[in-house]
Amino acid sequence: MNTHTPNTDAHDASHLPEHRELPRRELKFIILLTMFIACMSFINVVSAKLWSFAGLTISGGIMAYWLTFPVTDVVGEIFGRRRAQLVVWLGFGANVLVLGMSQLAVALPPSPYYQDQAAFSTVLGAVPLIVVASLAAYLVAQSHDVWAFEFWRRRTGGRHLWLRNNLSTVGSQLLDSLVFNGIAFWLFAEERMALSEFIAMTLGYWMFKVGIAICDTPVVYALVYWLRADEPRSEPP
């Protein structure tokens, strides 16, 4: 007697992981996380480029670093403090990995046919003290930014996004300048600069970063609007 066995393959396949659609909200978070990690990786490549602005000598990496703060603020606004701190830790891990791999590439013996080892070392080579200062400043500043954004969010009752974004970023950028310059040019430097020069350099960098932070406010609003576009809207009373 022939029996008919229903084909359940199509039904079962719908429960497989590859058939489950990722919620758009989580997909957007992954995009922001990718942007954050890409910026941190980019910094390691372009930080050797120095340029001048108003008498300050500035690393080219700052043009990518500024974008990391609005990303963590936006993640904190939509997904909460825990998720924002996770982004910070993942960015730190990516930074360490890129630094380690780049230093390994520099240390590898060059081929006799490769004539650009000196230039390669100049771009990707790292001074240990600068690396320590950079990583320490990153962790302190980014973690403070996540904490401060949540602090001001509670104090304002979730209102005034522009104020919370700027207050958290301005304080965090000051810490970033103090920690990096303090370690690299003051506490452990072979030739410690004069205190007046240290203060002038730190305040100069900080004021430059504050200007960038104020300019990134529209970016924060645009990203928040983008993330909330898929949220269900309540019916008007």
* CATH code at 23-228: 1.10.1760
In this prediction, residue 236 carries a pLDDT of 39
- Residue with more model confidence, 11 or 138: 138
pLDDT at 139 > cutoff 90 = yes
As beta bridge partners, residue 111 has none
Residue with tokens 């002038």: 200
Query: In this predicted model, what pLDDT tens digit does every residue of 45-101 receive, in sequence order?
Result: 787 777 887 777 777 788 788 889 999 999 999 999 999 999 999 999 999 998 899
Nearest to 173 by CA among 131, 203, 130: 203
Q: How far apart are CA 165 and CA 53, in angstroms?
A: 25
DSSP code of 131?
H
Percent of the chain residues topping a pLDDT of 70: 89
Domain layout of the chain by residue ranges: 23-228
237 pLDDT band (50/70/90 cuts)?
Answer: very low
Average pLDDT over residues 151-158: 94
Q: How far apart are CA 169 and CA 163, in angstroms?
A: 10
What SS3 class is residue 57?
A: strand
Query: pTM of the predicted model, to two decimals?
Result: 0.82
- Range of weakest confidence among 169-173, 180-184, 191-195: 191-195
Quick one: which H or E segment has residue 51? strand 50-53
Q: How far apart are CA 194 and CA 200, in angstroms?
A: 10
